[in-house]
């Protein structure tokens, strides 16, 4: 059996790779593996069954996939609370909030509607480590011994799921949003119900776009992957700020009053300095990936904040945060994790705290974002090369060293072998876009010439 889990759960074309049979089998195997935990065993000792939360985003295939997951869990003796359409971070929060044994989220995040995915949260609302995913895959190959009679699980509606999450979000805010006009792009996704409501309840005047999900228009020309629509709306309405989510709302990007995009690095810079000032930034340390902009590192250094770097992927950011007990981390893409309030990236939470900082300081988003200079960043994907030699070939290493000497402290070079394809990503940052582009192309040519497998 090929590896089923990717970097963020199981993802693929719904009814292609991701069938109802697969979803049911995955749920049954998960019930065995995660149902062996101490909390689940304690429930059984009390004569109770393990409990799981199941939720989905509004894409049409989520209806049959969530039904298959719920059926797989109930047939394995797990009681299911069906939360319906909510965001991924809401699902993670609910697992923790009600002390459930684990949870499932049916979503393909920022992918188009034909795709879908299954994310699994362990006890406490945390993502699964690789070793647990491997155990689940192994159990999918085994015949499951299923309960009968009164031992099968029950499936019930999680009636107050959205209300619990909304109250949690409001309770996290250090300042109300009174006096600010916010445009929210819900990406025709899972945020459509909660995000406008919570921003309004927090005191903001709210204008909403991308809030008419029909099952097939999720992420379609809207949301964080098409942020130009948000910029147009902010300017058209004369709003103070725009907030863009993706389909499952684990991301947040922003637009200032001038229509300028504020990315995840800039958002992290703003939040880090706010938290440092308020004494909530643990060890005055921010966690970010190697892809974060050089400008973020320089801004943090200038303001007395340390930066801890990880591999690309929010799971690696979260691992580093958990290992060292840190409060803030994230990615340039808008996955921002605030560990005091969430176990995963939460786009609504991030947006609320960003706008709250505007209200607290009386500054515009452009003023707050000016703490960080964004260095031009150029990426070139070099295909059909031996990616395993990217960090050992002498010619490539020399070219990288020469480029780093040329750029000095005003730039940066990063070579990243793809995890799934025979390609190497060449990323260059520099003080201006032309220099970044020229150096990136030169390096790409060296990689192509020396590592080609054609």
Q: Name the binding residues for Mg(2+).
A: 109, 246, 248, 250
Q: How many CB atoms lie within 10 A of CB 75?
A: 18
Cα angle value 88/92/93 (rounded, 5°): 115
The Cα-based distances of 79 to 153, 180, 242 in angstroms read 4, 43, 40
Could you give the CA distance from residue 183 to residue 237 in angstroms, rounded to a whole number? Answer: 8
Q: What is the pLDDT of residue 45?
A: 78
How many angstroms separate the first and last alpha carbons of the chain? 29
Handedness of CA 400, 401, 405, 411 (dihedral sign): positive
Q: What architecture is the 164-369 domain classified under in CATH?
A: 3-Layer(aba) Sandwich (3.40)
Residue with tokens 């994230």: 330
pLDDT-flagged residues of the chain (< 50): none
Contacts of residue 247, defined as CB under 8 A and 6 or more positions apart, other chains included, come to 57, 59, 107, 108, 109, 110, 111, 187, 188, 189, 190, 218, 219, 223
Assess whether 109 carries a catalytic annotation.
yes
Q: How many CB atoms lie within 10 A of CB 283?
A: 12
Q: Name the binding residues.
A: 109, 246, 248, 250
Q: Which of 75, 109, 195, 292 is catalytic?
A: 109
Of 3.40.120.10, 3.40.50.1580, 3.90.1150.10, 3.40.50.300, which CATH number belongs to 10-159?
Answer: 3.40.120.10
User: 296: burial class by Cβ within 10 Å (0-12, 13-18, 19+)?
Assistant: buried
Domain boundaries, the chain: 10-159, 164-369, 377-451
Q: What is the pLDDT of residue 420?
A: 65
Q: What is the pLDDT of residue 385?
A: 85
Could you give the CA distance from residue 25 to residue 19 in angstroms, rounded to a whole number? Answer: 10
248's tokens = 């499952």
Residue 234: helix, strand or coil by DSSP?
helix
Kind plus residue range of the DSSP H or E element containing 130? helix 130-140
Could you give the CA distance from residue 432 to residue 377 in angstroms, rounded to a whole number? Answer: 9
Q: What is the pLDDT of residue 63?
A: 98
Contacts of residue 73, defined as CB under 8 A and 6 or more positions apart, other chains included, come to 27, 28, 30, 31, 52, 54, 80, 104, 153
Of 3.30.310.50, 3.40.50.10490, 3.40.50.720, 3.40.50.2000, which CATH number belongs to 377-451?
Answer: 3.30.310.50
Q: For 372-418, what is each residue's pLDDT tens digit?
A: 999 988 989 989 888 888 888 888 888 889 888 888 888 888 888 87
- Following DSSP, what letter does each residue of 40-100 receive, concatenated? HHHHHHTT---EEEEEE-S-THHHHHHHHHHHHHHHTT-EEEEEEE--HHHHHHHHHHTT-
Residue 213: helix, strand or coil by DSSP?
coil
Could you give the CA distance from residue 235 to residue 229 in angstroms, rounded to a whole number? Answer: 10
Could you give the CA distance from residue 379 to residue 388 in angstroms, rounded to a whole number? Answer: 19
Residue 408: helix, strand or coil by DSSP?
helix
Q: How many CB atoms lie within 10 A of CB 154?
A: 11
Q: What is the pLDDT of residue 359?
A: 97
Could you give the CA distance from residue 440 to residue 384 in angstroms, rounded to a whole number? Answer: 17
Q: For 134-148, what is each residue's pLDDT tens digit?
A: 999 999 988 878 999
Q: 10-159 and 164-369 share one CATH topology?
A: yes
Q: What is the pLDDT of residue 258?
A: 97
- Alpha helices (runs of H) in 312-412, residue ranges in sequence order: 314-324, 347-361, 365-369, 394-407
Could you give the CA distance from residue 315 to residue 122 in angstroms, rounded to a whole number? Answer: 14
Cβ contact 346:89 at 8 Å: yes
Could you give the CA distance from residue 235 to residue 312 in angstroms, rounded to a whole number? Answer: 33
Cβ contact 338:350 at 8 Å: yes
Contacts of residue 182, defined as CB under 8 A and 6 or more positions apart, other chains included, come to 199, 204, 205, 206, 207, 239, 240, 241, 242, 243, 355
């Amino acid at each position: 059996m090929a590896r089923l889990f990717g970097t963020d759960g199981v993802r693929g074309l719904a009814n292609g790779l991701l069938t109802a049979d697969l979803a049911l089998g995955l749920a049954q195997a998960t019930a065995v593996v995660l149902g062996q935990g101490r909390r689940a065993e304690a429930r059984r000792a009390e004569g109770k069954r393990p409990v799981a939360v199941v939720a989905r985003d509004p894409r049409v295939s989520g209806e049959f996939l969530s039904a298959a997951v719920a059926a797989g869990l109930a047939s394995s003796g797990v009681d299911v609370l069906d939360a319906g359409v909510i965001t991924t971070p809401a699902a993670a929060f609910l697992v923790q909030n009600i002390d459930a044994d684990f949870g499932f989220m049916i979503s393909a995040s920022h992918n188009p509607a034909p795709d879908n995915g299954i994310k699994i949260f362990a006890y406490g609302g945390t993502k699964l480590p690789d070793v647990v995913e491997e155990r689940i895959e192994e159990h999918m190959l085994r015949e499951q011994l299923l309960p009968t009679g009164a031992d099968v699980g029950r499936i019930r509606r999680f009636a107050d799921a959205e209300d619990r999450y909304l109250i949690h979000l409001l309770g996290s805010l250090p300042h109300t949003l009174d006096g600010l006009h916010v445009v929210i792009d819900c990406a025709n996704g899972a945020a459509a119900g909660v995000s406008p409501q919570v921003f309004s309840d927090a005191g903001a005047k709210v204008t909403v776009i991308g809030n008419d999900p029909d099952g097939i228009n999720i992420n379609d020309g809207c949301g964080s992957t098409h942020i130009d629509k948000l910029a147009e709306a902010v300017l058209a309405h004369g709003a103070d700020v725009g907030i863009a989510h993706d389909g499952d709302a684990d991301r947040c990007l922003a637009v200032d009053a001038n229509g300028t995009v504020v990315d995840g690095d800039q958002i992290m810079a703003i939040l880090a300095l706010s938290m440092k000032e308020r004494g909530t930034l643990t060890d005055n340390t921010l966690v970010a990936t190697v892809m974060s902009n050089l400008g973020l590192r320089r801004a943090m250094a200038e303001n007395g904040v340390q930066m801890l770097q990880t591999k690309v992927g929010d799971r690696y950011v979260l691992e580093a945060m958990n290992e060292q007990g840190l409060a803030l981390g994230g990615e340039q893409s808008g996955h921002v994790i605030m560990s005091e309030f969430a176990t995963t990236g939460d786009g609504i939470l991030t947006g609320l705290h960003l706008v709250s900082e505007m209200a607290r300081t009386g500054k515009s988003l452009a003023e707050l974002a000016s703490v960080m200079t964004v260095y031009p960043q150029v990426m070139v994907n070099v295909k059909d090369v031996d990616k395993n030699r990217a960090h050992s070939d002498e010619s490539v290493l020399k070219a990288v060293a020469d480029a780093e000497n040329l750029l000095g402290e005003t730039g940066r070079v990063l070579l990243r072998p793809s995890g799934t394809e025979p390609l190497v990503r060449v990323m260059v940052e520099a003080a201006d876009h032309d220099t970044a582009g020229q150096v990136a192309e030169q390096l790409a040519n060296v990689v192509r010439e020396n590592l080609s497998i054609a």
